[in-house]
Structure 1
Amino acid sequence: MADKLRITKVEDVQVLSRGEISVVTLHLTPHHLVLVQTLGPPSARQAPSPNHRPTPVRTRESWIAYPMIAFCTFRPTPPGSALSSSIRLRCRDFKFLTLNFGDDRQARDVFESIKGATCRLGSIEKLYAFSYKPQPPEKRISGWEIYDAKAEWKRQGISDKGVDRGWRISKINIDYSFSPTYPALLAVPSTISDNTLNYAGRYRSRVRIPVLTYLHPVNNCSITRSSQPLAGLRGNRSIQDEKLVSACFSACATVDDGDTATSSTSRSSPASSQADLGPSSADGELSEAERLEDEMISSSTLEVVSEKPHVYGAQQHNLIVDARPTVNALAMQAVGLGSENMDHYKFATKAYLGIDNIHVMRESLAKVIEAIKDSDVSNLPPNRELLAKSGWLKHIAGLLDGAALIARQVGIQHSNVLIHCSDGWDRTSQLSALAQLLLDPYYRTIEGFIVLVEKDWLAFGHMFQHRSGFLNSEKWFSVQNDALAGSAIQPGGNGDGRGDAIENALLSAKRFFNKSNHSQDNIADPDGELLPFDDSPKGKKTSISKDSSADSEATKPKETSPVFHQFLDATYQLLRQFPTRFEFNERFLRRLLYHLYSCQYGTFLYNNEKSRKDARVQERTVSVWAYFLSNKEGFTNNDYDGGVIDDHVKGKERLIFPNLDKVRWWHEVFNRTDEEMNGPTNTVTERYLGNHTPRSGSPHSVLTGVETSGTATTTRQVSNGNTGGFASLREGMAGLGFGGKGIQGNKRSRDTKKEMEVEMQ
């Protein structure tokens, strides 16, 4: 790393931050940029040292890990100008700095050194994590042992030595040869053989078949997750996949008599849980949300067999959740992918949640940055109108809305849910993890949250390396010679990865028909639906099911996206709304986001479990959980009430549900005050959020079922009886205004068209 540094020390560097100027000595170490500010002589009240030697002056140090630098602009001194050369930095923890130098050569050497230590590093294994030496408190904790897949499945009631609660542990992927992006151990229905899994894998993108991630302890209902099916325009189907999904949805009915019974749905039952009881208001009256819960509860019937309650009727409400906007899923059929044809999955209903893709989320955060980007040169509040127009809070509310739907289906309607998006590692991880936070108090503890992140994010293959861009990109470094250099700080360029949705669909279809279906040209980028035609790989025949870890380590700006950041933001919203229900505090979430990018620990460095094992990160690096657990007291919520779960006592219920009207800016993470980000009453934000009506129809409630709207529709209404791929694509085009009788011009068409414009604008 030292060979990447052109200079290691610069004195008298002027730093501009929050409108304040300070003078520092700048040190460039192999892994950090260190700003040392002299605060002056020691206090006069400080006692002199025994030998009467001068006491060292007081200093303040600020350490910036190189991977934390998200954008860097160098403005050299114009010829003949008296202006200083400057470097403007934006860090991934949303700190903004401007460094002014008296010597242009020194400034240029610092710029090139930072560039060499980030985007020119060349390999993940040169990051700080592989040379970091932990402090003694961290050494005493084995952070890598906090999560054990077998132990977590056992906690959920599933053993690897037999069949429990209708599920078994399959070792078909023990060497990662079956699905390189999936964990080694897969929980699958006990009625499904590994041979069936083999055949079913051919029908799911990247062989990410439907497998269990969560089993509800009260009613034995499940959350399973997968990637999209390879349906294509021809309407391909897989009997094995249909059998697997059906088995996932019926596993709770195969529990042996010796297993744990599910609880009653009666309010009068003393053993009932939050899955069966809506929270009672203090005055005994039921709120609108509680009344809706009662209506849903009554739709499930209870049949007693051998004096043991079993929940039937849940099969009537099983749900396949496609996190994408409807039109995106339809457009993916043009490249051999798509969504389930529900004529073959009649045991379930489907909901499209309309959650935007990684490109939209990246651009949304870029607009937030645009609103706060001048915080180095000014201490003024951010532009609240720009904040509102970013759509960031709308996206966070949408995630919470979708997670609430899943939690209600499992916890209240006694149903099973299968979640997927495109490849099943971005929106799927967000929804699955958030739903489990709503359902299970264990995941609201510090240890439980660690297990949740390890299971649903790390083990299930969220592409941390690709989404976070640890090695940075040359595109994020610029040299500007004009007076306004550095004023626009936003990574990723002008709308990378976006494009006109209609043109995408048509050009993708054209390529599809010009090539055989077996080639599966990778026009679709990982979990981002579609790339613009000009950005799609030309002349390359890339199998959809190949291991993404084989890609180059270089950061691809079009694949970066704040997916995990959004999950932490949504978790913060829950913590803020339920301050006594979480063992960890806000600082825990903020430091977790920081260490995602610091690259000080090996936890998040790679894209999947296989890649981390291949790199031997457990042997060569320290787990980030050692840091948190060695400082547990500082990350513990003092208001946490970890008492016994009691669904008859308000505030102690098993389930929690978010109030979407109370979604606010996570001001701490943006280094702003609550008033600066949210204001006393942020009318601009409220106006924009007013367009996001919860799908339940009530402004104070969350999703209560599958309804027909622009963002959550049943597949039967989307397909309108036309089950073939051509018909689906034709209907999708009609919904965008390309003709087609019966759809064009109606409200559904306008909703879908608007949805697509938001997706790709």
Structure 2
Amino acid sequence: MEDILTHNPPPPPQPLCGWEIVVNEVNFVRKCIGAGGSQDDLWGKLVCTNFKVSFVTHDSLPQQCAHRLLGEYDVPLACVDQVITVNDAKGKRKILGSNKKLKFNPTELILYCKDFRIIRFRFDEAGPESAKKVCLAIGHYSHPADTQLLFGFEYVGTRFYSSSDTRAVNGIDPGGRLQTPLFDCSSDWDREIKRTGASEWRVCSINKDYLVSPSLPEFFVVPSSLADQDLKQYACYFSAQRVPLWCWNHPSGSALVRMSSITEPLQQRKLDQRICNAVMKSHPLRSDVHKVELENGLLPTIHDIQAALVKLRQFCVIEPFEESEDKWLSSVESSRWMEYVRVFLKQAVEVVYVLEWKQASVILQEEEDRDLSCVVASLVQVMCDPHCRSLVGFQGLVQKEWVMAGHRFLDRCNHLKRNDKEESPLFLLFLNCVWQLLEQHPTAFEFTEVYLSVLSDSMWLPVFSTFLFNCPQQRAEHSRDFALTKRISLGQEQALRFPPVWDWSQQFSLKDQALFNNPLYVGKSAPCVHNGTVRTYSHRRSKVRSALTVLMKH
């Protein structure tokens, strides 16, 4: 122990980014590695900033994939689910949060993270008061009292991510490569209409400045036969004023549409008929329209999904291999997480069956059209559209069906730690569904499971706008208010622009980004060799029927 105490101070932590500041730190901390004893533990300094919890040690190994914002032992504060302090001598435990007091000196700190990690630190040789202060700092800064206290505002306030930066992600880069569309302007929607051949649909701008619905984007696509004046008149009858939204068109002409529930019973039948007629007119064959009620009891609720994740996390992180493999697998099955993955995939396949085999348009209806519909609409497009299985196409899909459509990322991720009842891992469930498809059809996807994992981890980096807000209007309002508070000159910009997560250069080098690319990918029509025969990979109806059969049996 004397050798450890006489070591030189550890090297400085990962360079601070933007307005990141060190709040508190303590030396001579032991990071527990495994449960078998202390021989593998690491010694170093525990640091709390307004962005992350860092552990700095002499013995850190080179990272396989070097993150530009996080070091090897760094944890973003937004990823911390619970902060628990322990005093061995007194047998006390306390969960820390914002402005909570601690009446004992901790001997151990346990961080339960939302990415299934449990991180333990021991303060056997650290100063008791210093250990207490750093624990209180972590508890306080991991529970921001207001949206603007999330680190992303400080970060973007120094970097000033302008509209020209956004276009670099959204348009054509200098190398001529197509970049991820953000769907925050009418031209992105126009390109999507042309790409899918949706000739009877148009871009609507009635929600400019969010005058009709606070949770819809300023631009979205509606049937050409619906006039703007009619949409404005109908809006008050829909939940949260969310009028029907076009998602995608099948090559046969069938359309996928999302819609919130109609709150006025006297208008329900009339409006239903009016919307269905408009969608039917947009189909070249004037086929019937099928409406799918997503809250009919066949799909789990957001609370069911959250409960399943809590159980799954418990089985996966608390010594899962102490039990036999069979018992552990049965425990995971009892969480119902995999059952919910299967149910959503089955629902998506049934929608694909209607769109492709019956050549009929489908309307997905949910109370506010912001949760379950995001999952189903996205899965349908991943199954049907090869473009959505490319890297840029998949990112555009998430931007369109989740970010701009108003999925409540702030509430569902519980970034402010305010209301556990609103928390639900719908986006994680969607990524799990996509992973299942990727495993079944590895040549059909341009991206890898590494990419899906990195995308999931990025939810807990409050630097990017993608997973930080409940809707585009909230992002604009809070960004504008923060700029006024900090007296940041916006120039011609109406609000501070956060970098989208799709600007991967913020997190990884080009070399590391290469791990996102699937070497088995054959593209939409690239030839591949199977049993000595050259074949072309493409989406076939037989595969849809086969997938439906498998899902029905299981």
| TM-score normalised per structure 2 | 0.76
Shift of 1:410: 1.1
Q: Which residue of 1 aligns with 2:426?
A: 563
Taking a change above 3 Å as real, the CA distance of residues 170 and 435 of structure 1, as seen in their structure-2 partners, is same
Offset at residue 33 of structure 1 (A): 1.1
Q: In the alignment, which residue of structure 1 is the partner of 2:30?
A: 13
Separation (CA, whole Å) in 2 of partners of 1:68 and 1:200? 41
Q: Secondary structure at the match of 1:252?
A: coil
* Deviation of 1:65 (Å): 1.0
Compute the displacement of 1:565 (Å): 0.4
Corresponding residue for residue 202 of structure 1? 236
Higher Cα radius of gyration: 1
Quote the residue 1:365 is aligned against. Answer: 309
1:612 maps onto 2:478 in alignment: no
Query: Do residues 324 (structure 1) and 295 (structure 2) align?
Result: yes
Partner Cα distance (1:421, 1:201) in 2:
15
SS at match of 1:601: coil
Pick the aligned partner of 1:624 from 501, 505, 516. Answer: 501
1:188 paired with 2:222, answer yes
- Post-superposition shift, 1:151? 4.1
Structure 2 match to 1:100: 122
Deviations 1:379-423 (A, max 9, x none): 997932221100000000111111111112112221100002221
Distance in 1 between residues matched to 2:526 and 2:60, nearest whole Å: 55
Alignment of 1:533-544 (within 5 A): none
SS of 1:188's equivalent?
strand
Equivalent residue, structure 1, for 2:356: 411
Q: How many angstroms apart in 2 are the aligned matches of 1:620 and 1:202?
A: 31
Task: State the match for 2:42 in structure 1.
Answer: 23
Q: Deviations over 1:538-559 (max 9, x none)?
A: xxxxxxxxxxxxxxxxx31100
The correspondence of residues 290-329 of structure 1 with structure 2, limited to 5 A, is: 311=285, 314-315=287-288, 318-326=289-297
Q: 1:219 aligns with which of 252, 262, 268?
A: 252
8 A contact 1:32–1:63 mirrored in 2:
yes
1:143 match? 169
Q: Structure 1 residues 186-195 or 100-109, which shifts more?
A: 100-109
Q: Deviations over 1:596-648 (max 9, x none)?
A: 112132222111111222344984432211116964422100110015279x9
| Distance in 1 separating the partners of 2:167 and 2:201 | 33
**How far apart are 1:125 and its partner, in Å?**
4.7
Change (3 A) 1:99 1:372: same
Q: Is the 8 A contact 1:222 1:249 kept in 2?
A: no
- Using a 3 Å threshold, how does the CA distance of structure 1 residues 660 and 422 change in structure 2: closer, same or farther? farther
Query: C-alpha separation between the residues in 2 aligned to 1:158 and 1:659?
Result: 25
CA contact (8 A) 2:374 2:401 kept: yes
Q: What's the Cα RMSD here?
A: 3.7
Query: Using CA pairs below 8 Å that are at least 6 residues apart, which structure has the higher relative contact order?
Result: 1
Residue number among 251, 257, 282 corresponding to 2:282 in the alignment: 251
Matches of 1:431 and 1:377 in 2, distance apart?
A: 34
Q: 1:60-139 maps to which residues of 2 (within 5 A)? A: 61-79=72-90, 85-102=107-124, 103-128=127-152, 130-131=154-155
Out of 175, 186, 190, the residue aligned to residue 154 of structure 1 is 190
1:172 partner SS: coil
- Alpha-carbon shift at residue 121 of structure 1 (Å): 4.8
Structure 2 residue 51 is the aligned partner of structure 1 residue 34: no
Cα distance in 2 for partners of 1:388, 1:190 equals 47
2: CA distance, partners of 1:443 / 1:86: 46
Evaluate the alpha carbon distance shift between residue 378 and residue 191 of structure 1 in structure 2; reply closer, same or farther with a 3 A threshold: same
Unaligned runs of 5+ in 2: 1-18, 63-70, 93-104, 172-179, 481-494, 528-532
In the superposition, the TM-score normalised over structure 1's length comes to 0.56
The amino acid of 1:13's aligned partner reads R
CA distance in 2, matches of 1:8, 1:578: 48
Letter in 2 for 1:124: Q
Match of 1:644 in 2: 525
Q: 1:246, CA displacement in angstroms?
A: 1.9
> Alpha carbons of 1:164 and 1:371: their partners in 2 closer, same or farther (altered >3 Å)?
closer
SS of 2:503's partner is helix
Amino acid corresponding to residue 455 of structure 2 in structure 1: L
Cα separation, 1, equivalents of 2:194 and 2:166: 31
Residues 560-591 of structure 1: CA deviation (Å, up to 9, x unaligned): 10010001111111111110011111111110
Residue aligning to 1:634: 515
> Are 1:171 and 1:185, in contact at CA under 8 Å, matched by a contact in 2?
yes
How far 1:70 moved relative to its partner? 1.3
| Residue from 378, 382, 391 that aligns with 1:446 | 391
> 1:522 corresponds to which residue?
none
Q: 2:441 aligns with which of 553, 578, 583?
A: 578
Query: Quick one: structure 1 residues 699 and 577, their matched pair in 2 at CA, closer, same or farther if it must change by over 3 Å?
Result: closer
Equivalences, count:
473
After superposition, the C-alpha distances for 1:310-348 in whole angstroms (9 at most, x for unaligned) are: x46x42xx311111134xxxxxxxxxxxxxxxxxxxxxx
2:177 matched residue in structure 1: none
Residues of 1 paired with 2:130 and 2:386: CA distance? 54
| Aligned-pair CA distance for 1:180 | 1.1
TM superposition shift of 1:84: 7.2
> What is the match of residue 16 of structure 2?
none
Check 1:15–1:432 CA distance in 2 against 1; reply closer, same or farther (3 A cut). same
Percentage of identical aligned residues: 21
1:729 aligned residue:
none
Match of 2:174 in 1: none
CA contact (8 A) 2:29 2:122 kept: no
Following superposition of structure 1 onto structure 2, how do residues 447-462 of structure 1 map, counting pairs within 5 Å? 447-462=392-407
Looking at structure 2, the residues matched to 588 and 427 of structure 1 have their Cα atoms a distance apart, in angstroms, of 23
1:653 counterpart = 2:516: no
Task: Return the alpha-carbon distance in structure 1 between the equivalents of residues 544 and 441 of structure 2.
Answer: 10
